[in-house]
Amino acid sequence: MGLAVPEEVVRVASDIREMRVRGAGRIAKAAATALMVAAERYPGSDAREFREYIRRVAELLLKTRPTAVSLPNAVSYVVGPLLRAPHVGSVEEARRLVVERASSFIRYADEALERIAEIGSRLVRDGDVVLTHCNSLAVVSIIKRAAQRGKRVSVYATETRPLFQGHVTARMLLEAGVDVTLIPDSSVRSLIRRVDKVIVGADAVAANGAVVNKIGTSLIALIAREHGVDFYVATETYKFSPFTLSGEPVVIEERPPTEVVPQEFLDKHPRLRVLNPSFDVTPPGYITGIITEVGVIPPSAALLVLEEIYGREGVREQASVAVDEEA
């Protein structure tokens, strides 16, 4: 009985899967919170059973979205020490371990966002026109911070088909009093000449500095490169993927066709296929810098970030452990 996953946790998992919670940072925090709730709600007294129960909750959360590396990183951060411990003491001890790791992750995530806002805002000049794609809390925080510092910033936000996350970005910026213009995804090259820099978020950063982000990001990076416009990625380091180090490719999630066209259109054209990839990969050569909580790094320094997080030896070890856990 003690193994039943609390309804609240099941709901968080389905919110992530159905993209009611979206954005790599928010997904990571939601997963950490869900693990905390799960630990707190465990009613039994068997420590070994508790560990199995937490493993099940972790697996449930990991299955929701395949691409966002923040999810396995957050889950691994929260439950790793418990699952790797040679023996568990009491349920209370084990519970405290999970809750502490979860709240320390959430605290870290909040502080990281704050640091990114501060560091990133220094890259924004007075009068800059910034183009962004999709909705990234890190990017919005940077622009808001720059505006608070008295810099006049105007923003081009792409609509971001199929789910129009550009509207979320527009709302956040509008509420902060930032001048924002929504543009169709197809018009980026038409308007790039008026843009001073591009700043986007990330769903994952690979060991070679390639950035996985919302579909369309790599096309924008290519356009920015063509016109010599700086292209920055703003992201917390927990989105850097240790798995890629072991050669694991980042899986690009394909989502349902009904996000793009209504069901009636599909019914009318039974032979027509809709390809709806959620993400694409921007090569490191198109990226000017990655704005993280530890500083602005060139994409080629992604491995340095991984080594600093997991330790030089640990990088390889962590990579293999994490892959095993995910499998």
Angstrom distance (rounded) from CA 123 to CA 80: 36
Please, which residues have CB within 8 angstroms of residue 21's CB and are 6 or more apart in sequence? 12, 15, 27, 30
Angstrom distance (rounded) from CA 248 to CA 243: 6
- The reply on whether position 251 binds other proteins by CB under 8 A is no
Give the pair of three-digit tokens for residue 315: 């990088």
**Smallest distance, Å, CB 183 to other proteins?**
5
- The reply on whether position 50 binds other proteins by CB under 8 A is no
DSSP letters spanning 148-160: HTT---EEEEE--
In one letter, which amino acid is 242?
P
- The reply on whether position 181 binds other proteins by CB under 8 A is yes
Angstrom distance (rounded) from CA 124 to CA 149: 10
134 in active site: yes
- The reply on whether position 258 binds other proteins by CB under 8 A is no
Binding residues among 109-128 for other proteins as defined by CB under 8 A: none
**Which range in 49-57, 69-77, 154-162, 307-315 contacts other proteins by CB under 8 A?**
154-162
Cβ–Cβ contacts within 10 Å for residue 157, how many? 28
- The reply on whether position 271 binds other proteins by CB under 8 A is yes
- Give the active site residue among 15, 196, 203, 267: 203
Among 273, 312, 313, 327, binds other proteins (CB under 8 A): 273
- The reply on whether position 193 binds other proteins by CB under 8 A is no
Binding residues among 201-230 for other proteins as defined by CB under 8 A: 214-216, 218-219, 222-223, 226
Instruction: Name the residue with tokens 């452990």.
Output: 321
- The reply on whether position 151 binds other proteins by CB under 8 A is no
Sign of CA dihedral 21, 24, 25, 31: positive
203 in active site: yes
Which residues of the chain form contacts with other proteins (CB under 8 A)?
A: 156, 158-162, 164, 167, 170-171, 174, 179-191, 214-216, 218-219, 222-223, 226, 252, 260-261, 265, 268-269, 271-277, 280
